[in-house]
Structure 1
Protein backbone atom coordinates (compact mmCIF):
# COMPACT_ATOMS: atom_id res chain seq x y z
CA UNK A 1 0.00 0.00 0.00
CA UNK A 2 1.23 3.50 -0.85
CA UNK A 3 1.19 6.46 1.52
CA UNK A 4 1.84 10.07 0.56
CA UNK A 5 3.40 12.51 3.02
CA UNK A 6 1.54 15.77 3.44
CA UNK A 7 4.20 18.47 3.35
CA UNK A 8 2.83 21.07 5.75
CA UNK A 9 2.14 21.28 9.49
CA UNK A 10 -1.42 20.86 10.70
CA UNK A 11 -3.49 22.06 13.62
CA UNK A 12 -6.46 20.34 15.26
CA UNK A 13 -8.84 22.75 16.95
CA UNK A 14 -12.34 23.38 18.26
CA UNK A 15 -14.38 26.40 17.23
CA UNK A 16 -17.55 28.07 18.44
CA UNK A 17 -18.71 29.21 14.97
CA UNK A 18 -18.34 27.93 11.42
CA UNK A 19 -17.91 31.50 10.16
CA UNK A 20 -14.35 31.43 11.52
CA UNK A 21 -13.33 28.77 8.96
CA UNK A 22 -11.70 30.02 5.76
CA UNK A 23 -13.83 28.06 3.32
CA UNK A 24 -11.47 29.08 0.49
CA UNK A 25 -8.48 27.35 2.09
CA UNK A 26 -7.12 24.50 -0.03
CA UNK A 27 -6.91 21.88 2.76
CA UNK A 28 -9.12 21.35 5.79
CA UNK A 29 -11.46 18.90 7.49
CA UNK A 30 -14.51 20.28 9.23
CA UNK A 31 -16.77 18.23 11.49
CA UNK A 32 -19.89 19.42 13.25
CA UNK A 33 -21.93 17.36 15.69
CA UNK A 34 -24.47 18.19 18.35
CA UNK A 35 -21.55 18.48 20.79
CA UNK A 36 -18.75 20.25 18.95
CA UNK A 37 -17.30 21.93 15.89
CA UNK A 38 -13.85 20.60 15.02
CA UNK A 39 -11.37 21.72 12.39
CA UNK A 40 -8.17 20.18 11.06
CA UNK A 41 -6.29 22.62 8.85
CA UNK A 42 -2.90 23.92 7.83
CA UNK A 43 -1.42 25.62 10.86
CA UNK A 44 -1.08 28.84 8.85
CA UNK A 45 -4.86 28.77 8.17
CA UNK A 46 -5.97 28.23 11.77
CA UNK A 47 -8.54 30.81 12.87
CA UNK A 48 -7.24 33.40 15.34
CA UNK A 49 -9.92 32.52 17.89
CA UNK A 50 -10.43 28.88 18.85
CA UNK A 51 -11.90 27.31 21.97
CA UNK A 52 -9.13 24.68 22.01
CA UNK A 53 -6.11 24.20 19.79
CA UNK A 54 -3.31 21.69 19.32
CA UNK A 55 -0.53 22.46 16.87
CA UNK A 56 2.31 20.22 15.80
CA UNK A 57 0.60 17.57 13.67
CA UNK A 58 1.89 16.04 10.43
CA UNK A 59 -0.02 13.72 8.12
CA UNK A 60 0.06 11.17 5.38
CA UNK A 61 -2.65 10.06 2.99
CA UNK A 62 -3.45 6.53 1.90
CA UNK A 63 -3.03 6.75 -1.86
CA UNK A 64 -5.79 5.77 -4.26
CA UNK A 65 -9.52 5.50 -3.83
CA UNK A 66 -10.52 3.08 -1.11
CA UNK A 67 -13.65 1.07 -1.74
CA UNK A 68 -16.07 1.02 1.19
CA UNK A 69 -15.95 -2.78 1.18
CA UNK A 70 -12.26 -2.83 2.12
CA UNK A 71 -11.76 -3.97 5.70
CA UNK A 72 -8.88 -3.42 8.12
CA UNK A 73 -6.86 -0.69 6.42
CA UNK A 74 -6.99 1.75 9.34
CA UNK A 75 -6.78 -1.10 11.79
CA UNK A 76 -3.51 -2.37 10.32
CA UNK A 77 -1.98 1.11 10.23
CA UNK A 78 -3.08 1.98 13.75
CA UNK A 79 -1.91 -1.37 15.13
CA UNK A 80 1.50 -0.96 13.50
CA UNK A 81 1.91 2.52 14.97
CA UNK A 82 0.51 1.51 18.37
CA UNK A 83 3.03 -1.33 18.62
CA UNK A 84 5.71 1.38 18.44
CA UNK A 85 3.92 3.67 20.93
CA UNK A 86 2.93 6.20 18.25
CA UNK A 87 -0.51 7.71 18.68
CA UNK A 88 -2.60 8.89 15.76
CA UNK A 89 -5.58 10.97 14.78
CA UNK A 90 -7.49 9.79 11.70
CA UNK A 91 -9.81 11.67 9.38
CA UNK A 92 -11.52 10.34 6.30
CA UNK A 93 -12.90 11.63 3.04
CA UNK A 94 -15.15 9.82 0.61
CA UNK A 95 -12.10 8.50 -1.26
CA UNK A 96 -9.47 7.79 1.36
CA UNK A 97 -8.09 8.22 4.88
CA UNK A 98 -5.58 10.62 6.37
CA UNK A 99 -3.46 9.70 9.39
CA UNK A 100 -2.07 12.46 11.58
CA UNK A 101 0.74 11.94 14.07
CA UNK A 102 2.54 14.45 16.23
CA UNK A 103 5.49 16.17 14.56
CA UNK A 104 8.01 14.63 16.96
CA UNK A 105 6.85 11.12 15.94
CA UNK A 106 6.45 11.70 12.19
CA UNK A 107 9.88 10.51 10.97
CA UNK A 108 9.72 7.47 13.24
CA UNK A 109 6.16 6.69 12.06
CA UNK A 110 7.29 6.84 8.43
CA UNK A 111 10.25 4.54 9.15
CA UNK A 112 8.09 2.05 11.06
CA UNK A 113 5.53 1.94 8.26
CA UNK A 114 8.22 1.47 5.60
CA UNK A 115 9.69 -1.40 7.62
CA UNK A 116 6.18 -2.91 7.66
CA UNK A 117 5.98 -2.86 3.86
CA UNK A 118 4.26 0.46 3.15
CA UNK A 119 5.62 2.55 0.28
CA UNK A 120 6.08 6.20 1.24
CA UNK A 121 5.94 8.89 -1.43
Structure 2
Protein backbone atom coordinates (compact mmCIF):
# COMPACT_ATOMS: atom_id res chain seq x y z
CA UNK A 1 0.00 0.00 0.00
CA UNK A 2 1.26 3.46 -0.90
CA UNK A 3 0.15 6.61 0.95
CA UNK A 4 0.39 9.76 -1.18
CA UNK A 5 -0.07 13.32 0.10
CA UNK A 6 -2.14 15.37 -2.35
CA UNK A 7 -1.00 18.92 -3.20
CA UNK A 8 -3.26 21.95 -3.08
CA UNK A 9 -5.95 23.48 -0.93
CA UNK A 10 -8.94 21.28 -0.15
CA UNK A 11 -12.29 21.86 1.52
CA UNK A 12 -14.50 19.60 3.57
CA UNK A 13 -18.11 20.63 2.87
CA UNK A 14 -21.47 19.68 4.26
CA UNK A 15 -23.79 19.36 1.26
CA UNK A 16 -27.48 18.69 0.75
CA UNK A 17 -27.61 17.77 -2.93
CA UNK A 18 -25.25 15.86 -5.25
CA UNK A 19 -26.19 17.82 -8.37
CA UNK A 20 -23.73 20.66 -7.71
CA UNK A 21 -20.65 18.44 -7.39
CA UNK A 22 -18.12 18.57 -10.23
CA UNK A 23 -17.40 14.87 -10.70
CA UNK A 24 -15.06 15.68 -13.61
CA UNK A 25 -12.51 17.20 -11.21
CA UNK A 26 -9.39 15.11 -10.53
CA UNK A 27 -10.24 14.68 -6.82
CA UNK A 28 -13.73 14.32 -5.35
CA UNK A 29 -14.76 12.25 -2.34
CA UNK A 30 -18.36 11.97 -1.10
CA UNK A 31 -19.25 10.39 2.22
CA UNK A 32 -22.68 9.76 3.74
CA UNK A 33 -23.83 8.94 7.24
CA UNK A 34 -27.29 8.82 8.75
CA UNK A 35 -26.84 12.49 9.73
CA UNK A 36 -25.09 14.23 6.85
CA UNK A 37 -23.70 14.17 3.34
CA UNK A 38 -20.07 15.34 3.10
CA UNK A 39 -17.81 16.35 0.23
CA UNK A 40 -14.01 16.61 0.14
CA UNK A 41 -12.83 18.49 -2.95
CA UNK A 42 -10.40 21.11 -4.14
CA UNK A 43 -11.38 24.45 -2.60
CA UNK A 44 -11.68 26.04 -6.05
CA UNK A 45 -14.49 23.64 -6.98
CA UNK A 46 -16.36 23.64 -3.65
CA UNK A 47 -20.07 24.52 -3.98
CA UNK A 48 -20.65 28.20 -3.13
CA UNK A 49 -23.62 27.56 -0.87
CA UNK A 50 -22.10 24.71 1.17
CA UNK A 51 -20.66 25.29 4.65
CA UNK A 52 -16.96 24.44 4.28
CA UNK A 53 -13.77 24.13 6.25
CA UNK A 54 -10.62 24.79 4.19
CA UNK A 55 -7.46 22.84 4.86
CA UNK A 56 -3.98 24.16 4.08
CA UNK A 57 -2.46 20.72 3.67
CA UNK A 58 -3.88 18.28 1.23
CA UNK A 59 -5.54 15.03 2.16
CA UNK A 60 -3.85 11.75 1.43
CA UNK A 61 -4.71 8.98 -0.99
CA UNK A 62 -4.26 5.26 -0.43
CA UNK A 63 -3.07 3.38 -3.47
CA UNK A 64 -3.46 -0.37 -3.30
CA UNK A 65 -5.08 -3.30 -5.04
CA UNK A 66 -7.88 -4.66 -2.90
CA UNK A 67 -8.62 -8.39 -3.27
CA UNK A 68 -12.29 -8.17 -4.23
CA UNK A 69 -13.75 -11.55 -5.12
TM-score, scaled to structure 2? 0.73
How far has the Cα of 1:10 moved from its partner? 0.8
CA distance in 2, matches of 1:26, 1:53: 19
More helix by share: 1
Q: Using the alignment, how far apart are the partners of 2:66 and 2:49 within structure 1?
A: 37
Number of aligned residues: 66
Q: CA RMSD in A?
A: 2.1
1:28 corresponds in structure 2 to 28
Of structures 1 and 2, the one with the larger relative CO (CA 8 A, separation 6+) is: 2
- What secondary structure sits across from 1:22 in the alignment? coil
TM-score (norm 1): 0.46
Partner of 1:117: none
The aligned counterpart of 1:81 is: none
Partner of residue 61, structure 1: 61
Provide structure 2 residue ranges, at least 5 long, that are not aligned to the other structure. none
Larger radius of gyration: 1
